[in-house]
Amino acid sequence: MCDRVCCLLEVTSVSTENELFSAVDALLEQVAQDDLPVPAERKRLREAAGLSQAQIATALDARREAVGNWETGRTEPRPPKRAAYARLLEGLAARFPAPAVDAPAAAPAPVVPEAFTGPAPAAEAPATPAPAAAVRPAAAAKSAATSRRPGAKKAVAKKTTAAATANVDPRFENGPLAVVDAGADGQVSAYCIGGLVLDVPAKSLPSLVDWTLKEAKLGQPKLSGPGRPADPLLVLTEAACERYGLPVSLTAQEKDAGRIPEGHKVVKQLVRADWKLTKRGFGPWARIYRPAKGSDRQCVQLCIPSWNALDPRFWGDAAQLPPAQLARVLGVYATRVMTPRGSTAVTGLELMTALHPPTHAVRDEETGVLRQADTKTPGSLGSDPVDCAPCEAPDGHPLLKDLPRFTVRGPADKLFEEAYDWARPMTDAECTLRFLVGLDVNMAFAAGANGLNVGLGEPTHVTNPVFDPKLPGSWLVDLSHVDLSRVKVGKEWVELDGSLLPSPFTPKGDRPTGPAWYATPTVAYAQELGYDVAPTEAWVRYDNGRYLDGWYGRLRDAYLATMADLGVNADLSPEDFLAAMDGYKGRDPELGIVITAIKATVKGGIGKLRERPRGEGWRSGERWRALERPTWRPDIRAAVISRTRINLHRKIVKHASFTGQYPIAILSDCVVYAADGTSPLDFLPYRQGKPLPGGFKLGINPGLVKHEGTQTVLWGEEVRERFNAPELNLARSIKDGTVTDADSGE
């Protein structure tokens, strides 16, 4: 009996001991959970060790996207992976301790998703902070229906402060877009920004649209007070197209039509589910919607890269990227610019409207219900299209239908404000120099739009007007008397070699021979050069404003933030700037794609202001679709191009008056000079690191210049001799030295 009692006591003791050990293990596990470094430190340790997220994911038997979420603080690892992850970080911290800091500690940096991070900047040159719109604070844990696989436990949310979560709209906590991909096992996943991956339960395209609006929490807050939030964007990979019954690529006939047939089975599925398509149908950028009920808008946009939705001229090889990387590229663009609405040109135009919505809501005094205002939003273009002046109308416009057939309009009949395409033969002195150096103006057309006063309403015809440089419009005036051999630079008259300068009044640089139509910035520059102007006729816009300022600011901030991520900051010295620009896109090719897209958004948006007919059976004298947009404004396009060209000419004149150097060739925003060295610093007049005031300045800000390329003078003379073209525009080929028959005009 005693032995049995002792045995029972021994068993009880062991049982109690095991329970105690289990409790201690639980405490140790809790300590391990609480002892993880902050998300930014987790990423630093991984990068210091030269490890990729994929390597860590393989070691921990986790998904790469999960590791990305841990490093951004979006989610936290759960047992048993958490303890293993803590052990890994502890080992890395022992080998790669944080650098000592002697100075007082700065305020902690905000948590930024990996989608918006670039290479770590050098300690002595901190990166320019990204704009607020580019930084998305860590969100709370996603719901079981959207952020985890069926049957998985709910993710543990990272604790965030109220300030960190205040700026996240809960309706769009998963970001503006998702790349939808289907795996070989049939599982459909939606890759969002920040490495987040959602499981998609939808089995058909109509159910995918429903899921997006009800569960995905995708979209983007409005960019202005009277505006509306951006619709969610789904990017369908080839595998997703197959999964939802769409063709992987379009046939030649479908490409010409820009859509799949209305009888396609997927289109029929949408119709049966009471979904509608816009007039453009189901094409590379399809919009699927139901009529809005009050403020409840139901609309989802699709982007299909395999249908050439992402034009390689503007998006590089984005269409070939894996889903997670493509989500990063489009996510950075969407967060810093806006959710793409089509091509970069379409998005550039839509950004103008999003920042200045044509209408706004007002409360009815009788019923107290919100309704659309009867007048346009101040500072916007309104919701109704406005006809241009006859001189601003391109050939084929309905305003010109009464002109005799085959009429050729000259400078006195139409406004012709275009970018430079000018070149001249080199002088004997220039031929003795060794190199041709190209300078390129950063975001030239965006800089031309900044602070520009443009018309917002209809034009008014005036005869014999007194020129007002603050009044936007088109002016018929003779500027042939402006002599570039003697011009005002500031308050002083200077003597120049006018034969080596292009005229600022024509795209080809030819001196005007009589009256011609010009936009306000061009005529104002003639006055600035010291010459009187006397217009005989004008179409002016008394309703005007700085419509493009917000547009410029948004694109400028997006450009500077992305360049800072690539290691090119706004406060670099000229030498450091040139070094930082050398191969900058190679540091992060995905962000390099974003930079190209931002630039294309600027140029394309300006070009869309005077969009021409695009087939559809159009005939000269008939209206075309673009004319029905309030943003079809050739006068605004002309004003931006005019100011951009004038800005460049002003720098050229300033440079010539100080150095005696003249350009060899100009193409749009690129200008070429002969020099004795290969660098812009070999001929730009920098003194103690300071540039010539009003001249060319190296830097990343819009309006400043960067090095476009260098070729030898012998190369330039050889290609001009080969094509028998003494005035071949060398600016077209200065970047890589490649000259084709098309470049030579043959």
Using pLDDT thresholds of 50, 70 and 90, give the confidence band for residue 292: confident
DSSP H helical segments within 432-519, as ranges?
A: 444-449
Given a cut of 60, whether residue 130 has pLDDT beyond it is no
Q: Return the beta strands (E) in 192-311 as ranges.
A: 197-200, 233-236, 276-277, 285-293, 296-303
Given a cut of 50, whether residue 155 has pLDDT beyond it is no
Using pLDDT thresholds of 50, 70 and 90, give the confidence band for residue 495: very high
- 300: its two tokens: 């989802």
Given a cut of 60, whether residue 327 has pLDDT beyond it is yes
Q: Give the Cα separation of 597 and 335 in Å (integer).
A: 13
- 118: its two tokens: 């670039």
Q: What is the pLDDT of residue 558?
A: 98
- 174: its two tokens: 């998963």
474 phi and psi angles, rounded to 5 deg: -120, 135
Q: Give the Cα separation of 334 and 601 in Å (integer).
A: 12
The two beta strands, 670-675 and 435-441, are antiparallel
Q: What is the DSSP string of 589-617?
A: HHHHHHHHHHHHHHHHHHHHTTPPP-STT
Using pLDDT thresholds of 50, 70 and 90, give the confidence band for residue 745: low
Residue 165: exposed, middle, or buried by beta-carbon count in 10 A (0-12, 13-18, 19+)?
middle
Summarize pLDDT for 381-431 with one digit per residue, the tens: 998 999 999 999 999 999 999 999 888 999 999 999 999 999 999 999 999
Give mean pLDDT, residues 225-229.
86
54 phi and psi angles, rounded to 5 deg: -65, -40
What is residue 358's DSSP assignment? Answer: S
**Of the given ranges (118-127, 304-313, 483-492), which has the lowest mean pLDDT?**
118-127
Q: H-helix or E-strand containing 36?
A: none
Summarize pLDDT for 685-733 with one digit per residue, the tens: 998 889 999 999 999 999 999 999 999 999 999 999 998 988 899 999 9
**Of the given ranges (69-83, 492-506, 580-594), which has the lowest mean pLDDT?**
69-83
Per-domain residue ranges for the chain? 18-98, 144-149+166-342
Q: Give the Cα separation of 14 and 716 in Å (integer).
A: 91
Q: Strand, helix or coil at 744?
A: helix
211 phi and psi angles, rounded to 5 deg: -60, -40
Q: H-helix or E-strand containing 27?
A: helix 2-34
Q: What is the pLDDT of residue 367?
A: 66
Using pLDDT thresholds of 50, 70 and 90, give the confidence band for residue 159: very low
- Please check whether residue 116 is in contact with residue 127, taking contact to mean a CB–CB distance below 8 angstroms: no
- 330: its two tokens: 């489009």
Alpha-carbon 255 to chain mean position: 26
Given a cut of 90, whether residue 143 has pLDDT beyond it is no
What is residue 631's DSSP assignment? Answer: T
Give mean pLDDT, residues 548-574.
96
Q: Give the Cα separation of 444 and 726 in Å (integer).
A: 28
Residue 124: exposed, middle, or buried by beta-carbon count in 10 A (0-12, 13-18, 19+)?
exposed
**Of the given ranges (54-58, 151-155, 320-324), which has the lowest mean pLDDT?**
151-155
Given a cut of 50, whether residue 655 has pLDDT beyond it is yes
Give mean pLDDT, residues 436-453.
97
Strand order in the sheet with 473-478: 460-463, 537-540, 473-478, 515-519
Alpha-carbon 630 to chain mean position: 23
**Of the given ranges (184-188, 245-249, 693-697), which has the lowest mean pLDDT?**
184-188
Q: Give the Cα separation of 388 and 632 in Å (integer).
A: 9
Q: Partners of 370 in the beta sheet? A: 363
Q: What is the pLDDT of residue 185?
A: 87
Exposure string over 430-442, b if 16+ CB within 10 A, otherwise e: beebebbbbbbbb
Using pLDDT thresholds of 50, 70 and 90, give the confidence band for residue 365: low
Q: Domain 18-98 falls in which CATH fold? A: 434 Repressor (Amino-terminal Domain) (1.10.260)
Amino acid at 181: D
Sequence-ordered list of residues with C-beta below 8 angstroms from that of 274, at least 6 positions apart, any chain: 290
Q: What is the pLDDT of residue 251?
A: 95
% of the chain at pLDDT higher than 90: 68
The two beta strands, 435-441 and 705-712, are antiparallel
Give mean pLDDT, residues 530-546.
97
CA dist 373 to 361, 363, 379, 383, Å? 6, 9, 14, 11
Q: How many C-beta atoms lie closer than 10 Å to residue 311's C-beta?
A: 18
Given a cut of 70, whether residue 98 has pLDDT beyond it is yes
Q: Strand, helix or coil at 655?
A: helix
Q: Give the Cα separation of 463 and 466 in Å (integer).
A: 9
Using pLDDT thresholds of 50, 70 and 90, give the confidence band for residue 295: low
- Please check whether residue 578 is in contact with residue 698, taking contact to mean a CB–CB distance below 8 angstroms: yes
Q: Strand, helix or coil at 690?
A: strand
Q: How many residues does the chain have?
A: 746
Mean pLDDT of the chain: 86
Amino acid at 160: T
Summarize pLDDT for 569-622 with one digit per residue, the tens: 999 999 999 999 999 999 999 999 999 999 999 999 999 999 999 877 899 999
Summarize pLDDT for 334-361 with one digit per residue, the tens: 999 999 999 999 999 999 999 999 986 6
Q: What is the pLDDT of residue 3?
A: 52
Amino acid at 491: K
